[in-house]
Amino acid sequence: MNRFYVTTPIYYVNAEPHLGHAYTTIVGDALTRWHRLLGEDVKYLTGTDEHGLKIQQAAAAAGMEPQAFTDAIAPKFAALWGRLNIANDDFIRTTEARHKAAVVELLQRCYDAGDIELDTFAGKYCVACEEYYADDELLDGDRCPIHQRPVEYFEEENYFFRLSRFEDRLLDWYARHPTAMIPEHRGNEALGLIKSGLRDFSISRTSLEWGIRLPWDAGHVAYVWFDALTNYLAAVGFGDGTDGYRERWPVDYHLIGKDIVRQHCVYWPAMLMSAGVDLPKGWAIGGWLLSDGDKISKSSGNAVDPLDLINDVGLDGFRYYVLADTTYGNDGDFTYGGLVSRYNADLANNLGNLAARVATVVAKKCDGLGTAPDPDSALAAHAASAYTETAAQWDVVQPSRALDATWSLIRATNGHLEANEPWKAEPGPAVDLVIGDALEALRIVAVLCSPAMPDIAQTVWERIGMTGDVADQRLPAAAEWGQYTAGATVTKGDALFPRIRA
RNA sequence: GGCGGCGUAGCUCAGUUGGUCAGAGCAUCCGGCUCAUAAUCGGAAGGUCGUCGGUUCAAGUCCGACCGCCGCUACCA
């Protein structure tokens, strides 16, 4: 059985979970559900990043110990994933023992390889922020942009990862794996970063308390990257003393945002090369999901939490909008108008109405029992091409295009009904075939849209009289024309997506 | 400043290696239908493919310059 391993970034717990986190996590969820339909053995990982100075400070400000502080925040992420029906198989926290073991293992390997060395880190330091600043970040060349007070020149002994040694190796590797980073234009940005020259980066701090200590020098605490990135390995057992992690590793896709390309597509593969660990098979680099044009963040304080709009369009309506309206790789703009427009057009008018009109005709012309489709139906070709295109787009992590391909079958089905007008004909074999075609198309649509809308897909599945769990269907077999079970009870039920009056 | 990305119908976007590539969905207008959630179906209109040059028999599709928007610029995930 093919294995499929996907990760989201681990989210930093100094902020409450928001739309930006939800976006990436929903994409990952839909992607993994698709691969489950393909019969693959999937592992979907997300989690939280809980170390570092900011957490230490935030905890102190709250009068809490860091661990207690993160213990209070991390569940909020897990709770949101529950609310969004995210089927992650694992949730890793960087404060877990398995994570610490993996970080220690990776650090030690790179250290043993000679790629981590003691050196001096020097820079302008703001005592108030407890952070270093680059010259061009400073006001008037010497004042902290936050506190507006002069910074001090500090020198600190740090361990450095010799990233500069990996420039050629990285370029060579990417040249041999040209489709590793998708979409292509995002990958080009990463290649540009490498070609522009790589500088070593420090991986430890002596001033930091809240984190993982270097295995060979307890006076230093690992600083961000070796800690955060290693979660992807930790979750598959790296560092447990065996090679068991190789069953899952290398990861198929790291889903990341365009803002962390450098760390994930440059630092991370170099670290893995140094440690003698296989590189990821792929990175799927997304844009940001903006809200009315503004980047969603705690600092921008958007008035309305887009997540609250789940109440208006239902969870699956929300998921559909996020997936269908944003081209993965580009920025998306989350607007109420866009949400309602998508919901009404694609869900209420197309899918929901199709299900309703078919159910009504079945009741009137077929005694409420589904009929068999025409093996030679004109719709069969539409269904086949819709499946092919849907699959091709999920394969390259383009949910919006995949859903558009699936919806092409819905549109074709509405057209098929118009062309044959079964509601005008007397009950009989001809009507039965047309209705069977529509039911069969709905069956296939239910399967194909289930990664995006798990609950609605199941509802459609049951209303057309299919039994069991639509998620248990397996592709490509389930997309083949002609499998609808004649004689099944078709129920109309309430509107799947009540139309929203603007 | 340096590096990079984007700029195609009102809106969101497709257009892999240059030659039916000028497209889809939504919105708009006209018409049909009335099984259906004022849904659906058909048709129409709508773009000098950011601007200016260049290469070519032929360029959204290659090259150069420019304009506009945006990202990164290194230890913040």
**Mean pLDDT along residues A448-462:** 97
Closest CA to the C1' of B41: that residue is: A418
* pLDDT band of A83, cuts 50, 70, 90: very high
The answer to whether residue A497 scores a pLDDT higher than 50 is yes
In whole angstroms, B57 C1' to A120 CA is: 64
3-state secondary structure of A125: strand
In whole angstroms, B14 C1' to A363 CA is: 40
Strands (E), A40-127: 41-49, 90-93, 116-126
* pLDDT band of A310, cuts 50, 70, 90: confident
Give the pLDDT score at A296. 42
Contacts of A140 (CB under 8 A, 6+ apart): none
Closest CA to the C1' of B74: that residue is: A199
Q: Is A36 exposed, middle or buried (0-12, 13-18, 19+ CB in 10 A)?
A: buried
Give the pLDDT score at A12. 86
Which residue would you say has higher pLDDT here, A367 or A18? A367
Which of A33, A81, A38 minimizes the C-alpha distance to A399?
Answer: A33
**Mean pLDDT along residues A391-408:** 91
Nucleotide with the nearest C1' to A201 CA:
B75
Give the pLDDT score at A302. 46
Give the pLDDT score at A16. 78
The answer to whether residue A183 scores a pLDDT higher than 90 is no
Question: Are A160 and A168 within 8 A, CB to CB?
Answer: no
* pLDDT band of A132, cuts 50, 70, 90: low
**Mean pLDDT along residues A227-249:** 93
User: What is the distance between the alpha carbons of residues A305 and A318, in angstroms, rounded to a whole number?
Assistant: 13
Nucleotide with the nearest C1' to A363 CA:
B35
Helices (H), A88-183: 97-112, 167-176
Give the pLDDT score at A136. 56
Which residue would you say has higher pLDDT here, A295 or A113? A113
Buried-exposed string A4-31: b where 16+ CB fall within 10 A, e elsewhere: bbbbbbbbbbbbebbbbbbbbbbbbbbb
Closest CA to the C1' of B11: that residue is: A338
* pLDDT band of A411, cuts 50, 70, 90: very high
Specify the pTM: 0.92
In whole angstroms, B39 C1' to A375 CA is: 29
Determine which of A38-52, A200-214, A473-487 has the lowest per-residue pLDDT on average: A200-214
**Mean pLDDT along residues A99-122:** 91
Give the pLDDT score at A299. 39
Nucleotides of strand B within 7 Å of the protein's CB atoms: 2-6, 12-14, 24-27, 32-42, 71-77
Pairing relation of β-strands A152-161 and A201-202? antiparallel
Buried-exposed string A335-361: b where 16+ CB fall within 10 A, e elsewhere: beeebbebbbebbbebbbbbbbbbbeb
Nucleotide with the nearest C1' to A258 CA:
B71
Place of tokens 């447990």: A240
Give the pLDDT score at A301. 45
The mean pLDDT value of chain A amounts to 88
pLDDT tens per residue across span A5-44: 999 999 888 777 888 888 899 999 999 999 999 999 999 9
Which of A326, A254, A260 minimizes the C-alpha distance to A291?
Answer: A326
- List the structure tokens of A38: 């393909």
pLDDT tens per residue across span A241-275: 999 999 999 999 999 988 888 889 999 999 999 99
Nucleotide with the nearest C1' to A203 CA:
B75
- List the structure tokens of A272: 């893995």
- List the structure tokens of A485: 């079970």
From residue A14, give the alpha-carbon distance in Å to each of A56, A230, A351: 10, 19, 40
| Phi, psi of A256, deg, nearest 5 | -140, 165
In whole angstroms, B63 C1' to A200 CA is: 36
User: What is the distance between the alpha carbons of residues A326 and A23, in angstroms, rounded to a whole number?
Assistant: 10
**Mean pLDDT along residues A455-476:** 96
Place of tokens 């001033």: A207
* pLDDT band of A300, cuts 50, 70, 90: very low
Question: Are A335 and A313 within 8 A, CB to CB?
Answer: no
In whole angstroms, B16 C1' to A279 CA is: 26
Q: Which residues of A are catalytic?
A: 18, 21, 126, 129, 144, 147, 295, 298
